[in-house]
Amino acid sequence: MAEIKIVITGAVGSGKTTAIQAISEIPVIATEVDASDEVREQKETTTVAMDYGELSLDDGNVLKIYGTPGQKRFSFMWEILAEGALGFVILVNNQRSSPLDDLAMYLENFEIYIKESTVVVGVTHVDEEQCGMEKYHDYMINQGLSYPIFPIDARSPSDVKVMIEAMAAMMNG
Ligand SMILES: Nc1nc2c(ncn2[C@@H]2O[C@H](COP(=O)(O)OP(=O)(O)OP(=O)(O)O)[C@@H](O)[C@H]2O)c(=O)[nH]1
Ligand SMILES: [Mg+2]
C-alpha cells in the first residue's frame, strides 16, 4: 500500500476546503478563521494554513490530500504543502469575473512544482448558471497544455471523487 500526496489549490472561494470535506474518510483537519477584509464579501471563513483529508483508492493506495490557502498573503504555505506532491488539482470558480486569469495565476504560482506532476483542473460553481466550458478548453489549446478539465460541484462527493480518481489513474499510466 502506498501513500500518495496530492495538493488542491486555487483562488479564494474556489471550493478547496469544501472539496476535501466532501470526500475525506477522516475528519478533515482545517485551519479556518473568520474572514476579514474583502474575502468577507464572498464567505465567512477562509483557510489560513492548510486543509488535510484522506481518501483510499480501490487499489489500496491512500491519497493524502492537502488544501492550500487561496489568499496570497498565506502563500508561504504553498511551498511547504507542494513539497513531494505527485498530483495537483487547480480549482477555478467559474463565477469569478475572470476565471481564466485565476487559472493562469495558479498555474504560474505552482509552475515549478507541477512540471513533474499530474495536473487536473476542476471548474466549480458551474451549477449556478450556463457554465461555458469552451473557454477553458480554448485556453488549454492556446497555452499548449493538455490538462484534463472537470466541471464539478465541490460540494458533491461523487463529482470530486471522479476527478481525483481520474487524476490517480493518470499517475499510474
Ligand atoms: N453553488 C456552489 N457552491 C460552491 C461550490 N463549491 C464551493 N461552493 C461554496 O462556495 C464556498 C467555497 O468556500 P471554500 O470551500 O471555503 O473555498 P476555499 O477554496 O477553501 O477558499 P479559501 O480557503 O478562502 O481560499 C462555500 O460556501 C461552498 O459551499 C459549487 O461548485 N457550487
Ligand atoms: Mg479553504
- Residue pLDDT, tens place only, 8-54: 999 999 999 999 999 999 999 999 999 987 889 889 999 999 999 99
Q: Do 159 and 21 contact (CB within 8 A), yes or no? A: no
Choose among 32, 11, 164: nearest CA to 95.
11
Q: How many whole angstroms separate alpha carbon 44 and alpha carbon 35?
A: 5
- Give yes or no for residue 58 having a pLDDT over 80: yes
- Give yes or no for residue 173 having a pLDDT over 80: no
Least confident of 111-115, 118-122, 135-139, 156-160: 111-115
Q: Separation of 173 CA from ligand 1 center, angstroms?
A: 31
- Residue pLDDT, tens place only, 133-149: 999 999 999 999 999 99
Task: Kindly list the structural domains of the chain, giving each domain's residue range(s) and its CATH number in brackets, ordered by start.
Answer: 3-172 (3.40.50.300)
Q: What is the mean pLDDT of residues 90-98?
A: 95
Q: What is the mean pLDDT of residues 94-115?
A: 94
pLDDT of the residue at 150: 97
96 lines ligand 1 (CB under 6 A): no
Q: Do 89 and 6 contact (CB within 8 A), yes or no? A: yes
Determine the atom of ligand 1 nearest the C-alpha atom of 128: 1
Q: Do 22 and 156 contact (CB within 8 A), yes or no? A: yes
Choose among 53, 62, 108, 117: nearest CA to 89.
117
Give the mutation target among 46, 74, 155 for probing the ligand 1 site: most ligand atoms within 8 A of CB.
Answer: 155
Could you say which ligand is closest to the alpha carbon of residue 39? 1
Q: Whose CA is nearest to atom 27 of ligand 1?
A: 43
Helix residue ranges per DSSP H, 84-156: 99-109, 111-114, 134-143
